């Protein structure tokens, strides 16, 4: 599967839920989708490319994309931690209006 194929497949599933891909396809969306595919090859699941996966499925369940933090991030900030998924409104705002999305994952789950 290519990043473009993943984009098309996920777009059909996620947009009806109000989750849109970042409008910056070249610098954000496609590189993040490529990283998801790399993680699928590496770990067997699409771990969030913006976090360090442990390689243990159970340990990483919360960061398998779309991660469990996506909904609260989008509700509060209009975008998920990675900026892959955003609201329609976020995509229509000027970039300088976008707030930083802090990490919600509990420190004890973060792999170093």
Cα distance between residue 107 and residue 30, in whole Å = 28
Cα distance between residue 3 and residue 31, in whole Å = 8
> Which DSSP string do the residues of 90-108 spell out, in sequence order?
HHHS-GGGPPP----S-GG
For helices 3-14 and 30-43, angle between their N-to-C axes, nearest 10 degrees: 100
On the question of pLDDT at 111 being above 90, the answer is: no
Closest CA to 51 of 72, 29, 66, 30: 66
Q: What is the domain partition of the chain in residue ranges?
A: 3-109
Beta pairing, strands 20-21 & 85-86 = antiparallel
Kindly state the average pLDDT of the residues 24-47: 97
8 A C-beta contact, residue 54 and residue 60: yes
Paired residues of 47 in beta bridges = 64
- For domain 3-109, give the fold: Ferredoxin Thioredoxin Reductase (3.90.460)
Q: pLDDT tens across 80-102, in order?
A: 999 999 999 999 999 888 999 99
pLDDT at 110: 81
Q: pLDDT tens across 45-84, in order?
A: 999 999 999 999 999 999 999 999 999 999 999 999 999 9
pLDDT at 95: 85
Give the pLDDT band of residue 4 (cuts 50, 70, 90): very high
On the question of pLDDT at 44 being above 80, the answer is: yes
């Amino acid at each position: 599967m290519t990043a473009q194929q993943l984009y098309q497949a996920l777009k059909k599933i996620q947009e009806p839920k109000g989750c849109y891909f970042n409008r910056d396809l070249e610098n954000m969306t496609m590189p993040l989708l490529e990283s998801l595919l790399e993680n699928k090859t590496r770990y067997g699941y699409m771990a969030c490319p913006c976090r360090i996966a442990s390689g243990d499925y159970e340990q990483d369940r919360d960061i398998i994309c779309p991660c469990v933090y996506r909904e609260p991030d989008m509700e509060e900030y209009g975008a998920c931690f990675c900026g892959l998924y955003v609201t329609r409104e976020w995509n229509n705002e000027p970039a300088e209006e976008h707030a930083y999305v802090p990490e919600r994952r509990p420190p004890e789950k973060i792999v170093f």
